A and B are shown apart, each in its own frame.
Chain A
Amino acid sequence: MDLRLDNISHYYSDVEVLRAIDLDIPAGKIVCIIGPSGCGKSTLLRLIGGLERPGSGSVLQIGEPPAESINPLTYVFQDFALLPWRTVEGNISLVLEDHNIRGGRAEAIISDVLARTKLTDFRKALPKQLSGGMKQRVAISRALAVKPAVMLMDEPLSALDSQTRELLMDDLIDLWTREPFTSVYVTHNLSEAVRLGHSIVVLSRRPGCIREIVDIPIPLAEREMGNIELERKQKYLWDLMRDEAIAADQELLRV
Chain B
Amino acid sequence: MSDHLHVDAKGTQRNKVVFRGGGFAPQSKRWVGAIVFILVIALMEVGTRTGFINNLTLPRPSDVFKTFIDLWNTGLLWKHLLPSLSRLAIGAAIGASFGVAVGVMIGLFSYVRAGLVPIVAAIFPIPKIALLPLFVIWFGIDEPSKYALIAFGTFTPTVVATYGAVDNVDRSLIRMGQSFSLSWFSIVTKIVLPGAMPGILSGLRVSLAIAIILLVAAEMLGAEYGIGAYILEAGSLYDLERLFVGVSILSLMGVVISAIIGYFEKRLLDWRV
Q: Which residues does chain B contribute within 8 Å of A185, judged by CB atoms?
A: none
A219 at the interface (CB under 8 A from B): no
Which of A71, A86, A94, A128 lies at the interface centre, i.e. has the most chain B CB atoms within 10 A of its CB?
A: A94
Q: Which residues does chain B contribute within 8 Å of A146, judged by CB atoms?
A: 180
Would A51 and B183 be within 8 Å (CB), given that A81-B172, A83-B173 are in contact?
no
Would A98 and B271 be within 8 Å (CB), given that A51-B175, A81-B175, A85-B194 are in contact?
no
Q: Which residues does chain B contribute within 8 Å of A66, judged by CB atoms?
A: none
A126 at the interface (CB under 8 A from B): yes
**In the assembled complex, how far is the CB of residue A77 from the closest CB belonging to chain B, in whole angstroms?**
6
Q: Which residues does chain A contribute within 8 Å of B180, judged by CB atoms?
A: 71, 74, 94-95, 98, 146
Q: Is the CB of A128 within 8 A of B273?
A: yes
* Complex-state Cα separation, A85 to B190, whole angstroms: 10
Q: Which residues does chain B contribute within 8 Å of A126, judged by CB atoms?
A: 270-271
In the complex, how many residues of chain B place their beta carbon closer than 8 angstroms to a beta carbon of chain A?
A: 20
Q: Which residues does chain A contribute within 8 Å of B175, judged by CB atoms?
A: 51, 81
Contact among A71, A79, A84, A95 with B271 in the assembled complex (CB-CB below 8 Å): A84
B 168-183 binary contact with A (CB < 8 Å = 1; else 0): 0000110110111111
Q: Is the CB of A84 within 8 A of B272?
A: yes
Q: Which residues does chain A contribute within 8 Å of B234, judged by CB atoms?
A: none
Contact among A83, A95, A128 with B194 in the assembled complex (CB-CB below 8 Å): A83
* Complex-state Cα separation, A128 to B270, whole angstroms: 10
In chain B, what residue has the closest Cβ to A143? B180
A97 at the interface (CB under 8 A from B): yes
Q: Is the CB of A75 within 8 A of B271?
A: no
B 235-273 binary contact with A (CB < 8 Å = 1; else 0): 000000000000000000000000000000000011111
In chain B, what residue has the closest Cβ to A145? B180
A 56-83 binary contact with B (CB < 8 Å = 1; else 0): 0000000000000001011101010101
Q: Is the CB of B172 within 8 A of A79?
A: yes
* Complex-state Cα separation, A83 to B180, whole angstroms: 13
* Complex-state Cα separation, A73 to B270, whole angstroms: 33
Contact among A71, A83, A97 with B191 in the assembled complex (CB-CB below 8 Å): A83
B54 at the interface (CB under 8 A from A): no
10 sample A-B contacts, Cβ–Cβ < 8 Å, listed by A number: A49-B179, A51-B175, A71-B181, A79-B172, A81-B176, A84-B273, A95-B180, A98-B186, A99-B181, A128-B272
